[in-house]
Chains A and B, each alone.
Chain A
Amino acid sequence: MTLATATKRSANGASARRGADHGAWFLVLPALIPILVLSVGPLLYGITLAFTDSQSGRTEPTEWIGLLNFQDLLHDTLFWDSFRIGLLWAVGVTVPQFLLALGLALLLNQNLRFRWLARSLAIIPWAMPEVVVGIMWRLVYNPDAGVLNETLSDLGLGDGRDWLTGLSTALPAVIVVGIWAGMPQTTVALLAGLQNTPRELHEAAEMDGAGAWRRFRTVTWPALKPVALAITALNFIWNFNSFALVYVLTNGGPGGRTRLPMLFAYEEAFRYGQFGYAAAMGCVMVAVISVILAFYLAGRLRGGDEK
């Protein structure tokens, strides 16, 4: 339908289109100005800050220092530690979350009883403030009064552990919370993709005697792939940039084992006042994310050609 209207519009000739453009400008301006002033502008300003020695409470004027911040970053092992942790966290959350959400979406697409209950429950993590999600899981992980240790000891699975402060358990523990918190969006997006799969194809495949796995591989997955790719790329980016959840759960501890890049940059900027340095960190994060986005777009374009 969009295609039809587009062709119709172009057939109307140049004058009609220019008229539409005038109307468009008038309609777009109220949103465009704040976007330029409060989003695009600060972003560009932020990038230029990365090349300065901007600091909070500095009395002398800020100076242009070229690539010095980036050179410092290169040798900042703490930053690369946090970068590595950020990647571990982003992959550790995104991949299992995708698989779990795919399973849940497939289940919710079936004619099961109590499906409505799962649908309603799946909404809870979505509606909750991240701060509350963090607080809630702190209560679950609590070494003395938490439900996790109590359940584990009831099952005879060892003594209580201090999950969020243990050096080896902290990162896995926050990753589980990340998976939990992002389940709904992923599930809903995948469910939307599933419901977009032509049912006739399923029936035809079944008539041909295709088993469940074969049907999934040949019918469901090809139809689901664009949505799956999009939601996975977005999830990865959101996770890599996330802040509130881990800030509340561990504040980067123990010993920096869960210090995501955003937590590191936040501390540099707003605890130590190193605005220029923190901006340089942001630039490096953007660069990495751009590469991932480029891969995603390339994959998506190839997927589009197949159609």
Chain B
Amino acid sequence: MSTTRTSKPARAGQYLALLGYLVFLAFPFLWLISTAFKPPRELASLHPTWIPKDPTLANFRQAFDEQPLLRAAGNSLIAAVCAALIAVAIATPMAYVMARHRTLLARAATGWVVVSQAFPFVLVIIPLFLVLKNLGQINSLPGLIMVYVVWSLPFALWMLVGYVRAVPTELEEAAAVDGAGKLRTLVSVTAPLLAPGIVATVLFAFITAWNEFFFALVLLKTPEKQTLPVVLTHFIGAEGAADLGPLAAAAFLATLPSLVIFAVIQKRITGGMLTGAVKS
């Protein structure tokens, strides 16, 4: 709903720029899909084409044969679901306090959210590695889940604080006037209004854990325990040589869950970031 008038050449320039962005953003992804469906003969061709002449699913079959993709996806699913649910369950009450109270604690928590974004992970993972090793939790999903929970807390808090702020305090005050206790107000007034934001945060936390690589690479040693991103790197050989078709097929499959979820919650995430960015 732009109110400013724009001249015709300027409009044309804008469309040209938009086209440039579309090409830049889309072409690597289209190439990935195209490669995933190409038969070996076309992959070896000196003049690769955009659209496979002879599309095939053989790359997908071969990808599953070469690497334990299903088990890796299962590991990723367990880690991401557990981490997302636990993180949001413990973050929601804290986010409420951070949004509603101006105590020292709330301010310290906000400070931690900002500062935690600046840690180089290596400084956290070495001690965690040593501690988890002593606890016998190296190469175990529960160990990884614990790390993921804390790792996803900052942005979960960040998003949730924005959602809590969007719930008018007047509603809570009205409930208090009507004689509802603090807990009652939280459960029957605030929680239902927060629910969509909480769901969006869970899904976002799921995606980040599903996509995470560094902690999984350090903590998971055996192929049976490894998550999908780690297993994907096994397709790339030691010398960087790779079977392009299966590599593309596996990579494409690994992206699908997050793409679908992201398409569903896109508006809420950008909305959450919007309130976060504006209010901070």
A180 touches B24 (CB 8 A): yes
Given the complex of chains A and B, what is the CA–CA distance between A202 and B2 in angstroms? 10
Query: Distance (Å) between the CB of A121 and the closest chain B CB?
Result: 4
A72 at the interface (CB under 8 A from B): no
Q: Which of A54, A136, A282, A290 has the most CB of B within 10 A?
A: A136
- Interface hit among A63-71, A73-81, A87-95, A233-241: A233-241
Given the complex of chains A and B, what is the CA–CA distance between A64 and B162 in angstroms? 45
* Interface class of chain B by DSSP: helix
Taking CB atoms, residues of chain A closer than 8 Å to B212 are 129
Given the complex of chains A and B, what is the CA–CA distance between A112 and B21 in angstroms? 13
Q: Which of A124, A131, A206, A279 has the most CB of B within 10 A?
A: A131
- Interface hit among B54-62, B193-201, B254-262: B254-262
Provided the pairs A30-B90, A192-B277, A230-B277 are in contact, do residues A131 and B233 lie with their beta carbons within 8 angstroms?
Answer: yes
Residue in B closest to A282 when the chains form the complex, CB atoms: B123
**B255 touches which of A30, A132, A191, A266 (Cβ 8 Å):** A132
A248 touches B233 (CB 8 A): yes
A286 touches B119 (CB 8 A): yes
B187 at the interface (CB under 8 A from A): no
Provided the pairs A129-B213, A139-B244 are in contact, do residues A124 and B118 lie with their beta carbons within 8 angstroms?
Answer: no
Query: Distance (Å) between the CB of A26 and the closest chain B CB?
Result: 8
Query: Distance (Å) between the CB of A237 and the closest chain B CB?
Result: 5
Taking CB atoms, residues of chain A closer than 8 Å to B261 are 127
Taking CB atoms, residues of chain B closer than 8 Å to A100 are 21
B14 at the interface (CB under 8 A from A): yes
0 or 1 for each of A262-303: is its CB under 8 Å from B? (1 = yes): 100110011000010011011101100110010000000000
Provided the pairs A122-B25, A248-B233 are in contact, do residues A237 and B118 lie with their beta carbons within 8 angstroms?
Answer: yes
Query: Distance (Å) between the CB of B217 and the closest chain A CB?
Result: 8
Provided the pairs A31-B90, A275-B126 are in contact, do residues A126 and B150 lie with their beta carbons within 8 angstroms?
Answer: no
How big is chain B's contact interface, by range?
35 or more
Given the complex of chains A and B, what is the CA–CA distance between A34 and B123 in angstroms? 17
A282 touches B17 (CB 8 A): no
B28 at the interface (CB under 8 A from A): yes
0 or 1 for each of A167-194: is its CB under 8 Å from B? (1 = yes): 0000000000000100101001101110
Given the complex of chains A and B, what is the CA–CA distance between A5 and B150 in angstroms? 31
B123 touches A279 (CB 8 A): yes
Considering the complex, which residues of chain A in the window 210-251 have a beta carbon less than 8 Å from any beta carbon of chain B?
A: 212, 215, 227, 230-231, 234, 237-238, 241, 243-244, 247-248, 251
Knowing that A139-B28, A150-B47 touch, tell me 19 more A-B residue pairs with CB under 8 angstroms: A35-B153, A38-B150, A112-B14, A114-B18, A124-B26, A124-B259, A127-B258, A131-B233, A136-B248, A139-B248, A144-B44, A189-B273, A230-B277, A241-B118, A262-B121, A265-B122, A266-B214, A282-B122, A289-B118
